[in-house]
Amino acid sequence: MVDTKVTLSGIELDNPIIPASGTFGFGYEFAELYDINVLGTFSFKGTTKDARFGNPTPRIAECESGLINSVGLQNPGVEKVKAQELPKLKKCFSKPVMANVSGFSVEDYAYTCQMLNDEEQIGWFEVNISCPNVHGGGLAFGTSAKNAELVTKAVKAVTNKPVYIKLSPNVTDITEIAKACEAAGADGISLINTLLGMRIDLKTKKPVVANKMGGFSGPAIFPVALRMVYQCYEAVKIPIIGMGGVSTAEDVVEMMLAGATAVEVGAANLVNPFASKEIIEDLPRVMEKYKISSLKDIIGGAH
């Protein structure tokens, strides 16, 4: 009998599979398809201080082995998430959930985390620092070690729950940002967020996505994500949640060997709503094939 359990900042998960924020709504939408309690946990839809309509349409462009999306953090705002979304989720999910938080200023991040801190069902915060810093010229927080540090410190000051900082891959040296987050008190890091990409429509000769560019995700980015997880495992001592193009149980094992304690599944959920469930079901077979008795034992095993 294989052991799929892992521990993420003191909270035990039945398995390391976590549907990624933005690909799983607030969970109850998928609960209509299957019992989502089979998941390790999931990261809910990116939540901001105020409600956001999101970016203009079209927001999606198809690519070879992936897709580009520019949804723009469409969400009802933290107050409605607390009042409406989380009570709905509680009816169908009995495990701690990961709260994904976004913001456009350091104050935004702190406010949203503070608002959600007293929610019993939230086990961890996943803080997305790939947002443009509106007070800093629009450059994403995640592209500056100093800004990453500021956000981490501000969030840690208002919550007693574990804080994972979600890093942008659109940087020269991912380890510099990871180290800054660790030094500022982050409990862990999540990586990678989407790469920046675009498509052009040959008929109209214009960009397909209204925003011109968007986040490129899917199987094509897996080797980049794996490389960055591997690099960060060598650079920091805090746990890593690995993600980026994960679509099979084999990918999960590979991510864990690179250094991930848990693994998020993103774009695959948009292609096949049962993707995360099927990966969980296939994990024991893959573990037996590669003579792995416990997933905890292989974390960072490739180093």
113, 131, 181, 232: the catalytic one is 131
- C-alpha to C-alpha distance for 106 and 127, rounded to whole angstroms: 11
pLDDT of residue 134: 63
HSE of 172, CA atoms in CB hemisphere, 13 A: 2
pLDDT of residue 14: 98
**Domains in the chain, please, with CATH?**
6-55+71-198+215-298 (3.20.20.70)
Answer yes or no: is pLDDT of 23 > 80: yes
pLDDT tens digits for range 88-145: 999 999 999 999 999 999 999 999 999 999 999 999 999 999 876 667 666 689 999 9
pLDDT of residue 140: 82
> What is the rounded average pLDDT of the residues 57-84?
94
- Helix 222-235, helix 249-258: angle, nearest 10: 30
Closest by Cα among 68, 77, 24 to 264: 24
- C-alpha to C-alpha distance for 54 and 217, rounded to whole angstroms: 19
**221: CB partners within 8 A, 6+ apart:** 66, 169, 192, 194, 195, 244, 245
Closest by Cα among 97, 89, 95 to 30: 89
181 is catalytic: no
Closest by Cα among 50, 72, 52, 49 to 60: 72
